[in-house]
Amino acid sequence: MAYKTLLMRQILTLMILFISSFCFGQNSSKIKYDLAYQKGSEICIIRFEDKKELKLTEGADPAISPDGYKLAYTKSSGSGISTFKRFIVVLDLNTKVEAELSISNINYYGASWSPDSKYIAFNIWITPPKWQVGIINLENSEVKIFKTNSELGIYQPTWSSDSKSIFAHDMS
């Protein structure tokens, strides 16, 4: 009798876990990735669980979102001064839908995700000629450019762990 009771409790517990994961948004079909890296001119991602490398696309500066579901990377197009463009694209790793960040500039790159995955900081070339740091709010596409009096500009933004501050290298 005690064995049957224990077995019934285990079955009931498993059913509750299954139903709660289904009802509360634990979608097992969504795959979370752990690492993105550049291999030659290709962007690759990997899950530590199965160690399977996936080659996604050509690009540079890959940055996987902290939640593991999106990838930001730099794409380039054109050649020569008049047609060259460098920009950041965000790729949903499960749906494979790609979206270019909505920034009115032709030379921005080097995505850095905020720890809460709500913002991306990046390097941007602003006239008068120098590098600055920008951020974009991914929910409403609002862009802010952080200008500095630094002679050569600032570069390579990095987020604080609470997503409230950005640190950058002063190139002067």
Q: What is the CATH number of the domain that holds 88?
A: 2.120.10.30
Nearest to 39 by CA among 27, 55, 21: 55
pLDDT (0 to 100) of residue 132: 94
Domain that holds residue 143: 70-170
pLDDT (0 to 100) of residue 23: 41
Nearest to 111 by CA among 120, 102, 119: 120
* Contact predicate 91/71, CB 8 Å: yes
Summarised one tens digit per residue, pLDDT across range 98-121 is 999 999 899 999 999 999 999 999
Q: Per-residue pLDDT averaged across 54-81, rounded?
A: 93
In a domain, 3, yes or no: no
Residue type, position 74, single letter: T
Summarised one tens digit per residue, pLDDT across range 42-52 is 999 999 999 88
Domain count, the chain: 1
Q: Rounded to the nearest 5°, which phi and psi values hold at 60?
A: -145, 170
Nearest to 166 by CA among 62, 156, 74, 108: 156
